[in-house]
Structure 1
Amino acid sequence: MSPEHLLDKFGPRESMQYDVVVVGGGPAGLSAAIQLKKRGLEQGREISVCVLEKGAEIGAHILSGAVMDPRALDELIPDWKARGAPLNVPVTEDRFLFLREGAANAVPNWALPDNFKNHGNYVVSLASVARWLGQQAEALGVELFPGFPAADVIYHDDGAVKGVVTGDMGLGKDGEPTANFQLGIALHAKYTLFAEGARGHLGRKLQDRFALRNGVDPQVHGIGIKELWEIAPEVHRPGLVIHTAGWPLRSDTYGGSFLYHLDNRQVMVGFVVGLGYQNPYLSPFDEFQRYKTHPSIRKYLEGGKRLSYGARAITAGGLVSLPKLTFPGGALIGDDAGFLNASRIKGSHAAIKTGMLAADAAFDAVQGGRQSDELFAYPEAFRKSWLYAELRRARNFKQWMGKGLYLGALMVGVEQKLLGGKMPWTLHHKHADHETLKPAARCKPISYPKPDGKLTFDRLSSVFVSNTNHEENQPAHLRLKDAAIPVGINLRIYGGPESRYCPAGVYEFTKHDDGAQRLTINAQNCVHCKTCDIKDPTQNIIWTPPEGGGGPNYPNM
């Protein structure tokens, strides 16, 4: 049933009016909301702000490493320590290892580029940080609406963004309303800020509608897969930060790992694989499981207990892949635009900073009596900021590392250690991630060991500890443009890569009684990582938001 049909049957949508609507309750969106309210208090001016969050609660869908640079938080909430922000574990030691099978070489600290040094940073649960930011926003009068995904953008007659509409609730699998049906609400705003994270589904639509990517490099991504463990006290080192490169990935495949020691005997262990990889037999999930068996990593985890699991795509293109940030009536902030600094494996400080910059521009526009025009002050302020300088210094990192581990490490060292990030050249991304797979016939299959259930695990048991759940009687949120393509092209040419790049077992090819192969989509397993939307070689899979609150529920990720 079309949205128009639903409106005919149930009448017009309820609407609510705000000065600013923020889509996404992560660090970028919450920081924007906080900054808007702070500016209003400072100037004695009222400004109405709401935040929509698709997760069941603030922080439910937040997953990151994470080592957090507090620089932007210092600007947003200078007394964050006194207010009890969950930044409790300062980094005490950095280690960087080049792994070979069964062995490792440590890089001396004096040889590490500054991007791998974390003095003054904190090991955090970003989900916990987001929950705390949500509390600060609510205390300032921001209206938070968790469990309400923004399903689509609303436009004025002149084409400017007018706001968003939340998803309809209570539709059955056939798209027909059930007894629990509720029509989504239209949220109108003078300005709408989009902070959905990497590959935001509305951000993607806006980039197409307003041609925001014209003249910039393709965005490139990685998939980050993470587990939270409780480990033995004798191997726990609060504040220890370990990064690795090399095994189990081939030297021509971009990727690496992190192992961060929190408090309470907990460690975060994760693996990032660049989604520009070429071999369709590669499975990022299984590479991660294999990585944990390396002696340098196993020694921390063996005898411990896995507490949680999750996965999320991250943007890695950097400065050269940033789209135009503004359009009539709104702006992209945080990873919806792609502000993550891949060289530092950090994005939360950039998310907070861009949220603040966009909020300042929106506040000044609202108080100046403007609405629905472009917030040009936001990109202008970004270009004058410390964040721009940081991203400019790191602008070639992903491009070099994409040329292979050894050449990449050498050239990153030259640029960052010898030239101090002041290189006269800029490298560019030439291909989007979905364009890079080679036909399966030209690649060597990869054999992965079976999981032992103690150190290594399968996908389904992993999804279980991600607390993922979706209302089963709802339209599928993973949609195919053409149902014939998965078998006719993806399986025939590329060996069915969706069954391997998905870290949650959503996609599987099965043989039916008639002997024909079909793609089964287990949407209930989806952890909202967005990898399928990014890596599908024919761009046939479209990720859309499921019914409100569906997906993972990360308590401390």
Structure 2
Amino acid sequence: MDYDVVIVGAGPAGLSAAIRLKQINPDLQVVVLEKGSEVGAHILSGAVIDPVGLDRLLPDWREDKDAPIKVPVTQDNFLVLGPAGHVRIPNWPMPRLMSNHGNYIVSMGNVCRWLATKAEELGVEIFPGMACSQIVWDGQRVAGVVAGEMGKNPDGTPGPNYEPGMELRGKYVFIAEGVRGSLAKQIMERFDLSAGHEPQKFGIGMKEIWEIDPAKHSEGTVTHTMGWPLGKNAGGGSFIYHAENNQIFLGFVVHLNYANPYLSPYQEFQRFKHHPEIAALLEGGKRVAYGARAISEGGYQSIPKLTFPGGVLLGCSAGLVNVPRIKGNHNAMLSGIHAAEAAAAAITEGREGDELSPYEQELRDGPIGRDLKRVRNVKPSWSRTGMVGSLALGGLDMWAATLLRRNLLGTWKHGKTDAAATGKADKFKPIEYPKPDGKLSFDRLTNVAFSFTNHEESQPSHLKLKDPTVPIRVNLPEFAEPAQRYCPAAVYEVVEDASVPEGARFVINFQNCVHCKTCDIKDPSQNIVWTTPQGGDGPNYPNM
């Protein structure tokens, strides 16, 4: 099937690009391919959204009664937690960019569902349940993708109900898969798009939705925390957003450059909920949903080259999250708009399959670049100096960028990848985590059930090992096989087995996978490769 533009991913970036293309030229043939069972099924975000992208894309969105953007932020809190209490950081010393005034608490899954209806009204074709498993190459040009391949046997051979998928070709292909997408990874490697840029850095974000006692609910309140329980073990923090209907969005982020291989981000999240203040908020409530995903944290200096022959990288595929603001959806939407305008102009000129250089220039020099440049030293300063040092240095640097329009610290580098940051097990002591109580804290398998994840078990595992011997031969003796702990969905296990020479087996329970991509990022041997399962499989988030 031939289109003017093929878009991979129905997130805020991909849908914004589709809408903008049809706004510019209603005759353009545009298709959006989404691997989730429906639009929004694989969307997980905090989320407090800065409406700058929406204002650019749909200026009258506030008059749309169907827009699921109804909770303006009314209160901003920043807390540093200790084991039993907290210190509140006043708002006045913070740069204006850190204020959430004018922003909204939203479910990005529902926002994307709404954006999809807007796109379809304009004539965009949207195909959910269509995982894009391969790139269609035309020489050195990306000419399209293969989507919808289904029905393989566990060994990878075609099964009795095998469907080979379709080639969807476009004059341009937009890659908007989200963080660490499998096609984006291939394209970046083939064209060496990261050359001359810092390595991308990541965090893992875990989120639960809770229905709480109405007496404790304060719609519009936003709270961010740092400190306990992570301490010196890792960087990160939490968010607590009071949304509609007595619900709160409770999340915990751990930077993946931590060294201790015994650390479990998921267990740190569960322990966090037992802090006296958090426990008091949750008491009498119930958890109704759970999910996890990786977050790009490298910032401006880690943005790769964004164009390649035949297409571009959008949104989190490009790494456009503003780390101190904990926001990326506005930049994702703007990136889709910029890409659409560049592609529409090229097609009008009769071009196709070349590099959309104006897109890259607009992204780096326009509002996205300005947003990310002024905060570019917050993440590396945290990695080098810790939380307190980052608050001081990062805050000073952001103030300078705001007032003087230049960063006093210049541009700090990130250095090693998150995988390379993992330390050897003999340098650390195992961490003893408390058992979940089933009221505030839960084991991973119980929580995965609240992500509504499903994978057809007869298909091949979408989690590939470059060398099947590495987990037991290398990772277990050297790193205590951290996959057992960094995965928030209990996908990976080391099982004792006297029947094999090594005495243990590495088990991959791919059915549990919530598509967070942490394994592809954090595996110290870089031996795990995340690929797409067949279309529609994975989590089915209701309103994440």
Does structure 1 residue 151 correspond to structure 2 residue 136?
A: no
Q: Deviations over 1:18-75 (max 9, x none)?
A: 000000010000000000000014xxxx100000000000000000000000011001
Does structure 1 residue 177 correspond to structure 2 residue 158?
A: yes
Does structure 1 residue 439 correspond to structure 2 residue 424?
A: yes
Q: Is the 8 A contact 1:253 1:405 kept in 2?
A: no
Q: Is the 8 A contact 2:400 2:406 kept in 1?
A: no
Code of the residue aligned with 1:545 in structure 2: it is: T
Paired residue for 2:258?
277
Task: From the superposition, tell whether residues 414 and 252 of structure 1 become closer, same or farther in structure 2 (CA, over 3 Å).
Answer: farther
> 1:33-432 residue pairs with structure 2 within 5 A?
33-41=18-26, 46-83=27-64, 84-157=66-139, 159-251=140-232, 253-403=234-384, 404-417=386-399, 420=402, 422-424=406-408, 425-432=410-417
Cα distance in 2 for residues equivalent to 1:154 and 1:321: 27
Secondary structure at the aligned position of 2:63 is classed as coil
Q: Is the 8 A contact 2:498 2:504 kept in 1?
A: no
Q: Deviations over 1:106-129 (max 9, x none)?
A: 011212333431000000001000
Following TM superposition, by how much is the alpha carbon of 1:412 offset from its aligned partner in structure 2, in angstroms? 1.6
Bigger Cα displacement from structure 2, 90-99 vs 438-447: 438-447
Code of the residue aligned with 2:398 in structure 1: it is: Q
Bigger Cα displacement from structure 2, 103-112 vs 306-315: 103-112
Cα distance in 2 for residues equivalent to 1:113 and 1:452: 40
Following TM superposition, by how much is the alpha carbon of 1:297 offset from its aligned partner in structure 2, in angstroms? 1.3
Secondary structure at the aligned position of 1:434 is classed as coil
Bigger Cα displacement from structure 2, 281-290 vs 101-110: 101-110
Cα distance in 2 for residues equivalent to 1:160 and 1:257: 42
Aligned length: 537
> 1:473-488 residue pairs with structure 2 within 5 A?
473-488=458-473
Following TM superposition, by how much is the alpha carbon of 1:383 offset from its aligned partner in structure 2, in angstroms? 2.9
Q: Is the 8 A contact 1:24 1:53 kept in 2?
A: yes
Structure 1 residue ranges, 4+ long, deviating more than 6 angstroms after superposition: none
Structure 2 stretches lacking a partner, 5+ long:
none
Q: Deviations over 1:379-399 (max 9, x none)?
A: 111233122111110111111
Cα distance in 2 for residues equivalent to 1:418 and 1:375: 33
Equivalent position to 2:536, from 518, 524, 549: 549
Q: Deviations over 1:533-553 (max 9, x none)?
A: 000001100111001100000
Secondary structure at the aligned position of 1:271 is classed as strand
Paired residue for 2:515?
528
Equivalent position to 1:457, from 419, 436, 442: 442
Following TM superposition, by how much is the alpha carbon of 1:252 offset from its aligned partner in structure 2, in angstroms? 5.5
Secondary structure at the aligned position of 1:208 is classed as helix
Following TM superposition, by how much is the alpha carbon of 1:416 offset from its aligned partner in structure 2, in angstroms? 2.2
Secondary structure at the aligned position of 1:402 is classed as helix
Q: TM-score if structure 2 supplies the norm length?
A: 0.97
Following TM superposition, by how much is the alpha carbon of 1:238 offset from its aligned partner in structure 2, in angstroms? 0.3
Paired residue for 2:478?
493
Secondary structure at the aligned position of 1:410 is classed as helix
> 1:506-517 residue pairs with structure 2 within 5 A?
506-514=491-499, 516-517=503-504
Secondary structure at the aligned position of 1:356 is classed as helix
Secondary structure at the aligned position of 1:287 is classed as helix
Cα distance in 1 for residues equivalent to 2:367 and 2:169: 33
Cα distance in 2 for residues equivalent to 1:30 and 1:518: 43
Over the matched positions of the two proteins, sequence identity in percent amounts to 52
Cα distance in 2 for residues equivalent to 1:171 and 1:142: 30
Cα distance in 2 for residues equivalent to 1:440 and 1:174: 34
Q: Is the 8 A contact 1:254 1:277 kept in 2?
A: yes
Task: From the superposition, tell whether residues 443 and 79 of structure 1 become closer, same or farther in structure 2 (CA, over 3 Å).
Answer: same
Following TM superposition, by how much is the alpha carbon of 1:253 offset from its aligned partner in structure 2, in angstroms? 1.9
Cα distance in 2 for residues equivalent to 1:179 and 1:78: 50
Cα distance in 2 for residues equivalent to 1:375 and 1:418: 33
Code of the residue aligned with 2:489 in structure 1: it is: A
Code of the residue aligned with 1:322 in structure 2: it is: I
Bigger Cα displacement from structure 2, 398-407 vs 120-129: 398-407
Q: Is the 8 A contact 1:271 1:288 kept in 2?
A: yes
Cα distance in 1 for residues equivalent to 2:45 and 2:114: 16
Paired residue for 1:470?
455
Bigger Cα displacement from structure 2, 404-413 vs 188-197: 404-413
Following TM superposition, by how much is the alpha carbon of 1:168 offset from its aligned partner in structure 2, in angstroms? 1.7
Q: Deviations over 1:176-199 (max 9, x none)?
A: 222221111000110000000010
Q: Is the 8 A contact 1:252 1:405 kept in 2?
A: no
Following TM superposition, by how much is the alpha carbon of 1:85 offset from its aligned partner in structure 2, in angstroms? 1.4
Following TM superposition, by how much is the alpha carbon of 1:345 offset from its aligned partner in structure 2, in angstroms? 0.2
Q: Deviations over 1:393-434 (max 9, x none)?
A: 011111111121111111122112356363241101101111
Q: Deviations over 1:481-537 (max 9, x none)?
A: 111100111111001100000000000100013371111000000000000000000
Secondary structure at the aligned position of 2:493 is classed as strand
Structure 1 stretches lacking a partner, 5+ long:
1-15
Following TM superposition, by how much is the alpha carbon of 1:343 offset from its aligned partner in structure 2, in angstroms? 1.4
Following TM superposition, by how much is the alpha carbon of 1:299 offset from its aligned partner in structure 2, in angstroms? 1.7
Cα distance in 2 for residues equivalent to 1:417 and 1:368: 43
Q: Is the 8 A contact 1:254 1:273 kept in 2?
A: yes
RMSD: 1.1
Secondary structure at the aligned position of 1:148 is classed as coil
Following TM superposition, by how much is the alpha carbon of 1:256 offset from its aligned partner in structure 2, in angstroms? 0.7
Cα distance in 2 for residues equivalent to 1:358 and 1:484: 43
Cα distance in 2 for residues equivalent to 1:296 and 1:390: 33
Secondary structure at the aligned position of 1:81 is classed as helix
Paired residue for 1:24?
9
Following TM superposition, by how much is the alpha carbon of 1:280 offset from its aligned partner in structure 2, in angstroms? 0.2
Following TM superposition, by how much is the alpha carbon of 1:167 offset from its aligned partner in structure 2, in angstroms? 4.2
Code of the residue aligned with 1:455 in structure 2: it is: L
Paired residue for 2:524?
537
Cα distance in 1 for residues equivalent to 2:214 and 2:489: 31
Code of the residue aligned with 2:539 in structure 1: it is: P
